[in-house]
Amino acid sequence: MRSFPLPIALTARLSPVVVLAAAGWALSSGPLAAPEAAANKPAEKPETQSAPAPSQTQAAKTYAAAPAPCGSVTEKSVKSLVPGAKTAGKEIPSTDAKLRRTCSWNALKGYEYRWLDVSYEVLESDEAAERSYQGRVEERSGGGEVPGLGDAAYSVVNLTTEDKQQTREGVVLARASNALVIVTYNGSDFESKKAPATDEINKGAIKAAKEAVAALGNAPE
């Protein structure tokens, strides 16, 4: 019998070995492996994922609480704006005295009556205070901006008449960071039935508002 050339003969001898080796791999490690064998394979390490970035912490509020409202206007200003009133004022009860506080002064001197209210509202952020401020301004008409007072301020004066008695009232809304300051100042003359001049009421309300905004620096932290 003629012998095969070496490469062919070697291939013929090695083929069964290759086949058996391949069969052994399929039974031990490949898709035909028994569950026990597959279980003994070291588990592949999952791809590591980068940890999520920490959430941004909320910016600290400029004002955490409202200041004492009855100390927001100086005694000199109270005497000027509300003649005859007790300079200590009277704080109005609040459902949340930390965030909302109001002080009131009123007096009748002769036939002249004056009333002054100063209110504070502290919100959770500058954005919330801005939204509240804009909403309140939109509810009013006929007024104008007050430059140099807080971050934004608006003043409006209105005249009302009831039983022939006039009353003129001025309201100043001011925003400073996350706090709102609302000042209401009005007056009547019960002898003449007339109301004080618009300029008097407007300037008085703005004067009180400037002092009240400055008093925000005295708020507890």
Instruction: Report whether pLDDT(3) > 50.
Output: no
pLDDT tier, 59 (very low <50, low <70, confident <90, very high otherwise)? low
Contact 216, 176 (CB under 8 A): yes
Question: Tokens 């009180």 appear where?
Answer: 208
pLDDT at 200 over 70: yes
Confidence band, pLDDT 50/70/90 cuts, at residue 58: low
Write the pLDDT tens digit of every residue in 66-83.
999 999 999 999 999 999
pLDDT at 220: 76
Q: What is the pLDDT of residues 130-169, one digit of tens each?
A: 999 999 999 998 999 999 999 999 999 999 999 999 999 9
The sheet with strand 165-176 has its strands ordered as 90-92, 100-109, 112-122, 179-189, 165-176, 152-162, 144-145
Query: Rounded to two decimals, what is the model's pTM?
Result: 0.73
**C-alpha dihedral, 194 to 197 to 202 to 207, nearest 10°:** -100
Query: In degrees rounded to 5, what are phi and psi of residue 127?
Result: -65, -40
Mean pLDDT of the chain: 82
Residue 43 pLDDT class (50, 70, 90 cuts):
low
Q: What is the mean pLDDT of residues 87-107?
A: 95
What pLDDT sits at residue 219?
Answer: 76
pLDDT in tens, 174-191: 999 999 999 999 999 999
Given a cut of 90, whether residue 20 has pLDDT beyond it is no
pLDDT of 121 strictly over 90: yes
